[in-house]
Amino acid sequence: MENSIKQLLDGIVHPETGEGIVRSGIVEKVTANTEKITVTLRFRKARDPFALKIKNEVAARLRERYPALSDRITVFIREGEAQQPAQPAEKRTTTDRIAHIIAVASGKGGVGKSTVTANLAVTLRNMGYRVGILDADIYGPSQPKMFGAEGYVPDAEHDDATGADYILPADAMDMKLMSIGFFIRPTDALMWRGAMATNALKQLIHQTKWGTLDFLLIDMPPGTGDIHLSILSELKLSGAVIVSTPQQVAVADVVRGVEMFRHEQVNVPVLGIVENMAWFTPAELPENRYYLFGRGGAREYARANGIDFLGEIPIVQSVMEGADGGAPAVLNDERVERYYREICSRIVENTLKSC
């Protein structure tokens, strides 16, 4: 019924424009049933000289077409532009002064993703960049431990001028550190999964007082899941670094991880693969390398999939001690520092290339 009314009314033209009143948007709304008909006309001009004439003509045509409803036909006139539904306030985010956001991801847990993230962060800082770390690994947030910031309780700050609320990050060796671990106890892990963790993370992303940063590294949860989806939709990532051990590299989890970033709707450049725990060198035989888990797997996988191979890190006791002791190994072990510097140079180069 409403469509046939619209058809009927479009036969009425506005004398000034010569256009049908439906086509030109003057008929804003038609509601009709077997009981009554209501039509709302909106004239852009205030006090349109033809408004009354058109209103009367609309009523007359409707009465003529629907005589049974003739005393239940109402035509309203409105003036001016239609009120737009209130736009949601522009999304506030504290990330707009971060030049590059890089996800550090892995197919499985335990391959050293968090350790690598911490060492990359310190190395980038040593190269002179302003760095932040977001620990989003809800299953095992370990960045606070890596930087000796386990007891940190984030404070909130309110900005009276803008009305914005901020969460203050920890200072980790002159870097900004925020971790989901500051908000959960290990025993809470299960209940924090899913929606709650996703919401908490969104808040950490957009409300942490990051300030101006060159790089924000995100320690992602292992694998692919809801948290990844949420981070990918909340943030524009400059790229992703994949961490793998030699024996994990070819397994489906790594492949899935790479595919997740490369998916056409996600489209985050994979900056490269880091092979962690690539070999072992005993202290008493410093020239010997034992490839405990096979050799060259990550390099080969990277080549076959058009991904850059960023470099390899051996199994080193100092790396483990550094991770546990609140001081990432690059700070105390020159060899490790060299490996990381090379990897970071490639990351920086590939990030700049892809932006």
Among 96, 98, 53, residue whose Cα is nearest residue 77: 53
Q: Does residue 320 bind ligand ADP (CB under 6 A)? A: yes
Q: Could you say which of 111, 232, 270, 327 contacts ligand ADP (CB under 6 A)? A: 111
**Residue 115 vs 350, nearer CB to ligand ADP:** 115
Q: Which of 94, 95, 115, 143 binds ligand ADP (CB under 6 A)?
A: 115
Residue 179 interacts with ligand ADP (CB under 6 A)?
no
Q: In the structure encoding, which two tokens stand for residue 84, read together?
A: 């737009």
Looking at the Cβ atoms of 112 and 272, the one nearer to ligand ADP is: 112
Site for ligand ADP in 266-295 (CB under 6 A): 276-277
Rounded CA gap, 103 and 343, in Å? 15
| Binding residue (CB under 6 A) for ligand ADP from 73, 122, 167, 316 | 316
Q: Which is nearer to ligand ADP, 117 or 208 (CB)?
A: 117
User: In angstroms, what is the minimal distance from the CB of 110 to ligand ADP?
Assistant: 5
**Structural contact between residues 271 and 240, judged by C-beta atoms closer than 8 angstroms:** yes
- Position 260 contacts ligand ADP (CB under 6 A): no
- Rounded to whole angstroms, the Cα distance separating 21 from 41 reads 9
Residue 126 CB: number of other CB atoms within 10 A?
Answer: 16
User: If binding is defined by CB under 6 A, does position 242 make contact with ligand ADP?
Assistant: no
Q: How far is the CB of 271 from ligand ADP (least distance, A)?
A: 18
Task: Name the nearest CA neighbour of 141 among 175, 183, 179.
Answer: 179
Regarding 148 and contact with ligand ADP (CB under 6 A), the answer is: no
172, 319, 330, 343: residue in contact with ligand ADP (rule CB under 6 A): 319
Does position 106 interact with ligand ADP (CB under 6 A)? The reply is yes
| Residue ranges that bind ligand ADP, judged by CB under 6 A | 106, 109-115, 140, 142, 276-277, 313, 315-316, 319-320, 323
